[in-house]
Structure 1
Amino acid sequence: MPATNRPVYLPHDPLTPQRDITHTHFRPGETVVIFKGVAGGRLWGNAVTVVAPSWHTPTDEAGWRVLDPAGGDRSYVTAHPRYLVHLSTGCPECLVHQKALREYLVPRIGTDEDPVDCRWYSLTALNQLVHVADSRGSTADSAVRLT
């Protein structure tokens, strides 16, 4: 079953909007993930590459331009650092955030193999990724599809 046909009730993400992470935590060339939900009892999202600093208009803070290596219409988007999590196991802060998010979500969503997209993110007309907690009125114009 595709992620778009999953349960109507989707838990909100109270952890990412409260995450205190600075712009300097990430570096160009690093591979990070933007978690979108759960699949098979694990966090599920899009792996992207950090490219260059870029102003994140929805939050008026320093963000990162990231590249979806799979390409597509929106290969490059700008994201706030709190949306990004290192894929490597060597980053303690990212591991703590990942564990907390997993412990919050998996019991609420379940362990089905099919991905559940919680639809926390959308894209603005300027290709700025915005979390629903950071959205200001009409800045989000479409559901994000980075894959």
Structure 2
Amino acid sequence: MLPPSWTSPPASAFVPTPDPLTPARDITHQHFQAGDEIVVIKGVADGELWGDAMRVVAPSWHTLTEEDGWRLRDADGGAQTFITAHPRYLVHLSRPCPDCMIYLRAMGDHLLPRHAGADNTVIDCGWYTTTAVGQLVHIADVHGGR
């Protein structure tokens, strides 16, 4: 499997795809540290995993999942530069990490065959939403429709 790509081709598509891996991922808050470069896998682009790359800034409370999360900064700016995300959504970019590599491999094995042939298209699997209070929440973690 090629290393994941964090730069998107121009065209994009929303393709709902089940995610049986992320909600069951067992990653503790201590797995990440302030300053770590991470990525949140959101889908496939040009036959590779695709997602949003960010930097871990500080611990925070993740209200919607009622679990601790991390405050993240998007170095490229955008509509929302800082968000809060649960550790199970994050994958290390800045250092080799066996747990994250196993997750990436499993995610690739799950997603890439489903979206083979979608060249020059970014496939957003629709797993995440950003709430009004700035929290990145996986659709499996939203409590009571919030």
Task: Report which structure shows greater RCO (CA 8 Å, sep ≥6).
Answer: 2
Distance 2:12 2:31 in 1: 31
Q: Which amino acid aligns with 1:130?
A: V
> What residue number does 2:141 align with?
134
Equivalent position amino acid for 1:125 in 2: A
The gaps in structure 2 that reach 5 residues or longer are 1-9
Task: Tell me the equivalent position of 2:11.
Answer: 2
**Contact map agreement 2:36 2:94 (CA 8 A) in 1:** no
Residue identity opposite 1:105 in structure 2: L
Q: Report sequence identity in percent.
A: 52
CA deviations on 1:13-40 (whole Å, 9 max, x unpaired) are: 1100000000000000110000110012
Cα displacement string for residues 66-121 of structure 1 (whole angstroms, at most 9, x for unaligned residues): 00011123100000000000014610000000000000001111142311011100
The AA in structure 1 aligned to 2:70 is W
Distance in 2 between residues matched to 1:61 and 1:127, nearest whole Å: 15
| AA matched with 2:123 | V
CA distance 1:89–1:50, change in 2 (3 Å):
closer
Q: 1:24 to 1:120 in 2, by over 3 A?
A: same
The CA distance in 1 between the partners of 2:12 and 2:79, in whole Å, is 20
Which residue number in structure 2 is paired with residue 63 of structure 1?
A: 69
List structure 1 runs of 4+ shifted beyond 3 angstroms.
Answer: none
Question: CA RMSD, aligned part only?
Answer: 1.4
Does structure 1 conserve the Cα–Cα contact (< 8 Å) formed by 2:70 and 2:84?
A: yes
Aligned ranges 1:77-96 → 2 under 5 Å = 77-88=83-94, 90-96=96-102
TM-score when normalising by structure 1: 0.87
Q: Which of 18, 27, 30 matches 1:21?
A: 27
Unpaired runs of at least 5, structure 1 = 140-147
* Alignment: residue pair count: 136
Match of 2:58 in 1: 52
